[in-house]
Structure 1
Amino acid sequence: MPTSPTLSAADRAYTLTKELVLSGELPGGHLFSEGEIADRLGVSRTPVREAFLRLQAEELLTLVPKRGAIVAPVPPGEAEDVLDAREAVESAAVRRLLRTPARVAAVADELRAVLEKQREHAERGDLPAFAEADELFHRTVVAAGGNALTIRFYGGLADRQRRMSVHALGPVPEQLPVVLREHAELVEIIESGDAARFATALRAHLDGTHRR
């Protein structure tokens, strides 16, 4: 993974390790050492230790003395909380967007551009990139609502969403075309101006992807 030369060694270790966790390359429950990350970056273990502490504070790692760190699994209860929050925020964003019909066409175009990128990732079988684009698609829906408070709140869910998507879709790659089709349907519903139908379709989409 490319890293900026302007970043400190600790920042580089933090960025790399976090990406490995969010992408699923380091899955929940996996034990790995400071030395593994230090070797990949060509740095000492001290900045890696600092990075691990930051990631433990973010509840992504659990430190194991003299052994390294274990990737924290996504707690089942937390996943359900995230899904409930997403339903509420995204549905509210669409209701708010539809109060300004003149903006709908531009938002639909933006969503379709993200969807096309997601389709390309699916064709390549690049699940981490697909999951990242999935998060961007839904974040774009929220941004369209124009509520600064909910946009910031939703941004705080981004890391959890990526991990949940990788976890949910990794074992069932045949689900990727289903996600793409449902995303396309969500865009069409937004264009139709039916906020209630969007909320129903969003719930079905999240249920099918994460609550199977």
Structure 2
Amino acid sequence: MPSGRELAYAHLKDTVLSDPGMQGQFVNEQALADEIGVSRTPIREALLLLAAEELVQLVPKRGAYIAPVGGREIRELFEIRAMIECYAARRAVELGAVPLAEMRRELDAQRELGDEQAREFIDHDHRFHSALVGAVGNEMLSKTYDGLRARQVRAGVEALFRSDGRRKSVLAEHEAICSALAAGDPEAATAAITEHLNATRRVLQAG
């Protein structure tokens, strides 16, 4: 049974932080406590953990502030993702371990979602990319990549809200990545991954 702090932490990280409407807002601790069914103490404990991860800012006498996705955060997130995902593509091809069936399942699931299911769309997006990283078989690499999940989901959902055509573009970009991997062409795969990440970064930075 998860503790109150664990429940609060998971809810904040997976739901509140990824809500575009919460960017630039302060967390209402009491409303959140009522929603989850815990006291304010585990909410505050969870916020301290998130502050240590630099996912929220604790402002004296004001509370926890969710800053809008900023330029430095966007740049650094996509630089790290590019390094990890491009390496994973090359290594998976080299090992003959490309998880093509799993990646296509996530892509097919994305295609089935409606426009109002932005969060679900990005959850599948994360699993699409995570499957490739996991195929390398390097546990430390996978843990490092999974540590980016909250920021990746947050950025992905925000990009969908900022650009009406982003959903359709993501599907096409994922298809290009799959096609290159299916062909066993690491150069084409890394180029497709790079373009995919750059496209999302451009949407975010244009906002």
- The verdict on a shared fold, with TM-score over 0.5 as the criterion, is yes
Structure showing greater relative contact order (alpha-carbon pairs closer than 8 Å, 6 or more residues apart): 2
The letter of the residue matching 2:169 is V
8 Å Cα contact 1:97-1:146 kept in structure 2: no
Q: Does 1:40 align with 2:35?
A: yes
Please point out which of 91, 103, 115 is paired with 1:111.
Answer: 103
User: Per the alignment, in what secondary structure is the counterpart of residue 7 of structure 1?
Assistant: coil
8 Å Cα contact 2:26-2:65 kept in structure 1: yes
Distance in structure 1 (CA, Å) of the matches to 2:82 and 2:40: 42
- Indicate the structure (1 or 2) with the bigger Cα radius of gyration: 1
**Identity level (%):** 38
User: Per the alignment, in what secondary structure is the counterpart of residue 24 of structure 2?
Assistant: coil
Shift of 1:78: 2.1
Distance in structure 1 (CA, Å) of the matches to 2:17 and 2:29: 18
Q: Which residue of 1 aligns with 2:63?
A: 68
Distance in structure 1 (CA, Å) of the matches to 2:110 and 2:183: 23
The letter of the residue matching 1:111 is M
Q: Which residue of 1 aligns with 2:15?
A: 20
Distance in structure 2 (CA, Å) of the matches to 1:89 and 1:41: 35
Divergent runs of 4+, >4 A: none
Any residues of structure 2 matched to 1:126-141 within 5 Å, and which? Answer: 126-141=117-132
8 Å Cα contact 2:5-2:42 kept in structure 1: yes
Number of equivalences: 203
Distance in structure 1 (CA, Å) of the matches to 2:21 and 2:6: 18
RMSD: 1.8
Q: TM-score, normalised by structure 1?
A: 0.87
The letter of the residue matching 2:155 is M
8 Å Cα contact 2:85-2:129 kept in structure 1: yes
Q: Show CA shifts across 1:132-155 (max 9, x none).
A: 111111111111222333222211
User: Per the alignment, in what secondary structure is the counterpart of residue 23 of structure 1?
Assistant: coil
In the superposition, relative to structure 1, how do residues 30 and 109 fare at CA in structure 2: closer, same or farther (>3 Å)? Answer: same
Please point out which of 1, 8, 31 is paired with 2:3.
Answer: 8
In the superposition, relative to structure 1, how do residues 59 and 47 fare at CA in structure 2: closer, same or farther (>3 Å)? Answer: same
Shift of 1:27: 2.5
Q: Does 1:210 align with 2:205?
A: no
Q: Which residue of 2 aligns with 1:56?
A: 51
Please, which runs of 5 or more residues in structure 1 have no aligned partner?
Answer: 1-5
8 Å Cα contact 1:93-1:147 kept in structure 2: no
Please, which runs of 5 or more residues in structure 2 have no aligned partner?
Answer: none
Q: Show CA shifts across 1:2-29 (max 9, x none).
A: xxxx222222222222223332155321
Q: Show CA shifts across 1:157-209 (max 9, x none).
A: 11111111112121223210110111011101001111111111111111112
Q: TM-score, normalised by structure 2?
A: 0.89
Shift of 1:125: 2.5
State which drifts further: 11-20 or 163-172: 11-20
